[in-house]
Structure 1
């Protein structure tokens, strides 16, 4: 019997609020909690062992939310991974020093892959995750605003060669839409990445959870579906 995938609630921070974006567009947001710390408390209270937190302001160059992140680390005793604007070693080291479980590298994995290598050497694969956000077959960068000029297949091969263990793959075209996962695309990514795979982009309901189990994908980052209740959380046993 396949192992149930891990569902990781996502807390996106923009303008000091917990929001979800439609297709990654910072101007098309829904505010679910005025306070990101309240959002974190909500999911922790429901038993979430890990939260995925994205600093959207840092990702888009509009600022950063370090104090909020530090507060959430204290609330959750460090049980979160943080991405968004982690484009140099100083930013990554700052987040790790705050006590986050692991940092998530996105754009920098494409533009400055040596950063990923250095962080893996310094902290090990258990504290470093790479997020490939894509409009298949191309990786998207800079808060999803640009094409990265590199193919997903090329990036997965490069990252595997560096010793990366955990990869997050997000289908930008479906993120925040509740359209469900793209079965064919998820299957392709599973074939490309044989280590731990966490996916996102359109997760809507238990049918998507069943697809994850069928494909042997270890988990999914979920936002709108758990906020709006189309996917129950925690999952029914």
Structure 2
């Protein structure tokens, strides 16, 4: 199954299921100790959004991202039972981890810290599995990329990385403003515009969307989609979103 391509006028909204200690949670500014539990079962959360028409689910293994463990068995079950493609991120720092998730049923893997620390990994995975199976997620404060579950600054900017990612054949980039993720504060239009200017491929905003005005902002800036979490869990953004 291949995720449907969104139109420019109506960005694709991808529900997120963050998995920590086997439960579906959302974090405030990425802090694993500031969680809200929305579903005890991540499978139940995924089924809920799929039943509302989601064509793609974004799963994040927060325990793998922070080095506290992993939730691969849960992810495998979701991929097997959901009937909707899933992309999976969190703690994928080598080829073996990426390929284990692809073998577990993930439609595509999301590479974060490793894209900064080991850029050759992105090229290797694209060469082995094709550009449709690999996504890179750059999580940043401003334009400085944060790594290791957002705990560390890298000293590297988004603009430092995008040329090499494009050269490696990457098609889809996720960008997250970590200062706004999970806060319902809405998007920073100027930052979104700057990132759009740095990446000519498919751009997905990985957090910060709070309401329909943010969806309209994405459309106006030519950004193809967003990963949505707290806003749809708490109802500040209806899902599915009516046509703009």
TM range (shorter): over 0.9
Structure 2 stretches of 5 or more lacking a match?
A: 1-6
The question of 1:119 aligning with 2:150 is answered no
How many angstroms does 1:200 deviate by? 2.4
For structure 1, list consecutive stretches of 5 or more residues without a partner in the other structure. Answer: none
Residue 92 (1) aligns with residue 80 (2): no
Q: Give 2:12's aligned residue.
A: 6
Q: CA offset at residue 157 of structure 1?
A: 1.6
The question of whether the paired residues in 2 share the 8 Å contact of 1:133 and 1:172 is answered with: yes
- Structural mapping, 1:52-131, within 5 Å: 52-77=58-83, 79-131=85-137
Match of 1:208 among 194, 209, 214: 214
Residue 143 of structure 1 corresponds to 149
Structure 1: distance between partners of 2:65 and 2:8? 35
1:187 and 1:215 in contact (8 A); partners too: yes
**Is the Cα contact below 8 Å between 2:26 and 2:230 reproduced in 1?**
yes
Could you say what secondary structure the match of 2:203 adopts? strand
- C-alpha offsets along residues 84-134 of structure 1, whole Å, 9 cap, x if unaligned? 000000000000111211000000000011111100100111000000000
The count of aligned residue pairs is: 237
TM-score by length of 1: 0.98
Q: Does 1:224 align with 2:230?
A: yes
How far apart, CA to CA, are the structure 2 residues paired with 1:112 and 1:2?
Answer: 32
Taking the aligned partners of 2:73 and 2:8, their CA distance within structure 1 comes to: 40
From 19, 38, 47, the equivalent of 2:44 is: 38
Specify the SS of the correspondent of 2:59: strand
Q: Does 1:17 align with 2:23?
A: yes
